[in-house]
Chains A and B, each alone.
Chain A
Amino acid sequence: MTSLTTKYIEIQGVEQTFKTRKGPFRALQNINLTVAKGEFVALIGHSGCGKSTLLNLIAGLTTPTEGSLLCANREIAGPGPERAVVFQNHSLLPWLTCFENVYLAVERVFSATESKAQLKARTDAALAMVGLSAAAQKRPGEISGGMKQRVGIARALSMEPKVLLLDEPFGALDALTRAKLQDELLQIVANTQSTVVMVTHDVDEAVLLSDRIVMMTNGPSATIGEVLKVELPRPRSRVALAEDIRYLGYRKAVIDFLYTRQGHVEKAA
């Protein structure tokens, strides 16, 4: 049981090669990573370093060319609701209301065991958690980008996933909205004790949110360059951390990796 809690997600020797017109393109090689239950891991790296590729592998949207991925000791064979994904561009269905978008997910996971009223209650609860009860009957076209992303998070969380996968969830938002949603995410993750893997290119976001930061080298043939353990006490407060010497140290370490050792992104790509 201890091995399951410390090695909830296990990635062993994963390599991902894409067939392109110019021949095979190796995006990732020799990826080894374990994520413990309840841990928050951030994947950070320059654009095109394969961090989203790695996330898609964990999600099961793609299968690796080499190596294996396990989640709760079972091989990841395909996508499934136990590994919920929040996509970068929210990916809400524009013809459904916010409620219906979340309900679609809830219905899929719980309709076998629960009544319609319970499913509706779950959907309402998920929307309430991200503070969108008032917008439940609106369509995605009628709400702001930050609200859409919150619906995306509500949809993912409503499925009570074992693992929450976030693919640059706040990348398209303005700085203020992003900060607000990061704080909300901290709160939600603290409440639900979810296991989270998050792709980001924002250093502050990575340090603020995660327990460990996985820094990736530049592609092609990207791999894990360094793993940084962030030992800041929780709950974390953005304002208090801004002057915290440890916070600044972690931040410096990540920036050092990204810009000093992996800085020549244009040349490498």
Chain B
Amino acid sequence: MVSAVFHSPLEAASAARGSDKSKTRDAGPAPSAPAHKNMTNPTTPSSATQAAAPAMPARASWDASVLWLAVLPPLLGLGLLLLTWELVFMATGGSIPSPRDTFAQAVQIFSDPFYSKGPNDQGVGWNVLSSLKRVAMGFGMAAVVGIPVGFMIGRFNFLSRMFNPLISLLRPVSPLAWLPIGLLVFKGANPAAIWTIFICSIWPMVINTAVGVQRVPQDYMNVARVLNLSEWKIVTKILFPAVLPYMLTGVRLAVGTAWLVIVAAEMLTGGVGIGFWVWDEWNNLNVRNIIIAIFVIGIVGLVLELALIKLATAFTFEEVKN
């Protein structure tokens, strides 16, 4: 439920940023949407205004048609979520807290996000930050190792044949299965969690980088050969820019996975972190805080994803052929 609601603004945002292709794709559903509500709103929103809708509905210009398609559907979606939630609250006889109670609790929690009363009682801000720190460290190390390895695998057929069976074997393993190995080797919960993030975020980066290198158009490589460029120039002037979009896709997938895994890993390892916070609140039977945590996890994940999509579009050149 949560993910469904938080993905729709994301898609709207990507449509807004999108090329002509996504605009034409939007043109399909656009006429059907006003068809249902023609009685209440006579203005016919064009597909162009829908595609141009900014990611933040609140900042839309006060054109009625923009308001109609950019603001109302997401609000309706949120309303549906709240309604379902309210119904669940009533059906379970209050064991799931109501949206109103949760909101009140959230206001209280976010009024002081950075308090610290010992290791087991810290503000939600500290929890999120320490989770992000673990993700950043594990992910950063994975990028440092994975991207060069991906380049090597993509560049040299021998290495590709050598490592492909290993990657195929290890990639499907749940990252949490590596947690005990991490605990054993690093003798600590925190490095073990970072290790788990490392192992789960390295595969998308290795694989996407390698595929990107293999798909560099032969024309560009012929240019490199005719100009007799040095290996350094080939890497910096041709391979790296050509592979960058693939690499950033890998990075995006890796960050997404890492953010999924950190919650589970922290539940098992403890310490300070959003995953541990969820587990701790479960032990306290404070369901309102668990729901708040779910929202926080979703929003942070969404922000990470959006930032990386933005980064990727900035480095994608139109002429990079398949």
Q: Give chain A's interface residues, CB within 8 Å of chain B.
A: 59, 61, 78-81, 83-85, 87, 89, 91, 93-96, 104-105, 108, 139-141, 159
Closest beta carbon of chain B to A197's beta carbon, Å: 14
Closest beta carbon of chain A to B179's beta carbon, Å: 41
B319 and A61 within 8 A (CB): no
The 6 listed contacts between A and B (C-beta, < 8 Å) are A83-B226, A85-B222, A87-B219, A104-B227, A140-B319, A141-B318
B227 and A105 within 8 A (CB): yes
Closest beta carbon of chain B to A104's beta carbon, Å: 6
Closest to A78 in B: B225
Q: Does B90 contact A (CB under 8 A)?
A: no
Give the CA-CA distance A81 to B226 in the complex, in Å. 6
| Chain A hits for B228, CB < 8 A | 79-81, 108
A85 and B319 within 8 A (CB): no
B227-258 near A? 1/0 per residue, CB < 8 Å = 11100010001100110000000000000000
What are the 5 closest A-B residue pairs judged by CB atoms, nearest first? A94-B319, A95-B241, A91-B219, A94-B317, A79-B225
Q: Give chain B's interface residues, CB within 8 Å of chain A.
A: 219-220, 222-223, 225-229, 233, 237-238, 241-242, 317-320
Closest beta carbon of chain B to A145's beta carbon, Å: 12
| Chain B hits for A96, CB < 8 A | 237
Apart from A59-B226, A83-B226, A139-B317, list 5 A-B contacts with CB within 8 A.
Answer: A79-B222, A87-B219, A91-B220, A94-B319, A159-B227
| Chain A hits for B317, CB < 8 A | 94-95, 139, 141
Closest beta carbon of chain A to B318's beta carbon, Å: 5
Give the CA-CA distance A184 to B227 in the complex, in Å. 23
A81 and B227 within 8 A (CB): yes
B241 and A61 within 8 A (CB): no
Chain A interface SS verdict (over half): loop
Closest to A87 in B: B219
| Chain B hits for A139, CB < 8 A | 317
Closest beta carbon of chain A to B83's beta carbon, Å: 48
B223 and A93 within 8 A (CB): yes
Closest beta carbon of chain B to A103's beta carbon, Å: 10
| Chain B hits for A94, CB < 8 A | 317-320
Closest to A142 in B: B318
B227 and A61 within 8 A (CB): no
A80 and B319 within 8 A (CB): no
A108 and B227 within 8 A (CB): yes
A91 and B319 within 8 A (CB): no
| Chain B hits for A93, CB < 8 A | 220, 223, 237-238, 241
Closest beta carbon of chain A to B233's beta carbon, Å: 8
Most buried by B among A87, A93, A96, A105: A93
A104 and B320 within 8 A (CB): no
Closest to A161 in B: B226
Closest beta carbon of chain B to A53's beta carbon, Å: 14
Q: State which of B220, B226, B242 has its C-beta within 8 Å of the C-beta of A61.
A: B226
B226 and A85 within 8 A (CB): yes
| Chain B hits for A108, CB < 8 A | 227-229, 233
| Chain B hits for A140, CB < 8 A | 319
Q: State which of B219, B225, B227, B320 has its C-beta within 8 Å of the C-beta of A89.
A: B219
| Chain B hits for A79, CB < 8 A | 222, 225-226, 228
Give the CA-CA distance A89 to B319 in the complex, in Å. 12
Closest beta carbon of chain A to B266's beta carbon, Å: 40
Closest to A89 in B: B219
Most buried by A among B220, B226, B233, B242: B226
A104 and B237 within 8 A (CB): yes
Give the CA-CA distance A85 to B228 in the complex, in Å. 12
Closest beta carbon of chain A to B219's beta carbon, Å: 4
B219 and A80 within 8 A (CB): no
Closest to A88 in B: B219
Give the CA-CA distance A135 to B229 in the complex, in Å. 25
Give the CA-CA distance A85 to B220 in the complex, in Å. 12
Closest beta carbon of chain A to B217's beta carbon, Å: 8
Closest to B318 in A: A141
Give the CA-CA distance A168 to B320 in the complex, in Å. 22
Q: State which of A81, A87, A95, A105 has its C-beta within 8 Å of the C-beta of B222.
A: A87
Closest beta carbon of chain B to A137's beta carbon, Å: 16
Give the CA-CA distance A95 to B316 in the complex, in Å. 9
Closest to A165 in B: B226
Closest beta carbon of chain B to A199's beta carbon, Å: 14
| Chain A hits for B222, CB < 8 A | 61, 79, 85, 87, 91
Closest beta carbon of chain A to B215's beta carbon, Å: 14
Closest to B225 in A: A79
| Chain A hits for B242, CB < 8 A | 95
B226 and A141 within 8 A (CB): no
Give the CA-CA distance A93 to B217 in the complex, in Å. 10
Closest to B317 in A: A94
B319 and A84 within 8 A (CB): no
| Chain B hits for A59, CB < 8 A | 226
Most buried by A among B219, B220, B228, B233: B228
